[in-house]
Structure 1
Amino acid sequence: MHHLIVYYSYSGITRRLAEDIALITDGDLRELKPQKPYSFSYNTAVKEVREEIEKGYCPTLIQGVEDIENVEVIFIGSPNWLKTFAPPVLSFLRKVDLSGKTIIPFCTHGGGGFGRMIEDYKKECKNSIIKDGIALKGDYSFDELQTWLKNNV
């Protein structure tokens, strides 16, 4: 079965997790890139993100919304931002038809796990199958990820 790994990464931590998932599953990577990147200053970026999340804003994506017609299983990854996924992921979920697809969420976090991400995926992807997914801290081990994928995918 062909896998697609779609992700947004601010600092590179989620990108590393996405790359590891792609390596283990032999899946294709697709990075979500907003037209206007977030600030390089973490504190400023948090303010930008908080405002976008509170408004339900979907930033314009310049990369990542290409057709997914022939893909059945999609891993979707994001850092945990304010207990949910990053706004570029919301843009992807609303722009791409995920009906009938199996969604396996993944996230990186500093202690908050998925927060309310799974509920938010279920809300946004009503016609998809949402799996439990995996939430890992930035210092996860490759073996831990490999074991989880072997037992859950």
Structure 2
Amino acid sequence: MPTRPGIIIPAVLFASWADKGLALVVMGGLCRIVSARVKTTTPSHGGRNVEGMTTSTLASGFLLTDEKDASRYTLHRDGNLVSVLDYRDDGRTVALTRAFTVPTFRGHGYAGVVVEGAVADIITRGDRKVDAVCWYVADWFDAHPEHAGLLRVR
């Protein structure tokens, strides 16, 4: 059975269709419209499983959050979501799959900040290797050879 056409929101970058087209799930708090079809979250993580998250405050007003239930690190600055780093964790290796910065905040190095925070978190845990799947993450590791020992050997 094909899915029904739904609402298209081109400005929302973290959107995926769920429940055979009956619901639009918007992650990252980018959509502020309240609707029965749209699930939104705010940087305060209202309605989310806060127990499964790790937060740390960085310098200059940054807030880095490991949203374990969404398998991503998020970076907020002054209450705004600025960058996201998606990952897959299999218990031995954390595959950093995609670094993304919201277009209006690009050009300020926020993707580097979220990758650096994620790497620091993985080092602190001390029980995982990193697989740099995303090209940006691979370039970040090339620019920071002091963390090369953290990379998984293929």
Instruction: Tell whether the structures are fold-level matches, with TM greater than 0.5.
Output: no
Higher relative contact order (CA 8 A, sep 6+): 1
Greater helix content: 1
TM-score by length of 2: 0.32
TM-score by length of 1: 0.32
> Based on CA coordinates, which of the two structures has the bigger radius of gyration?
2
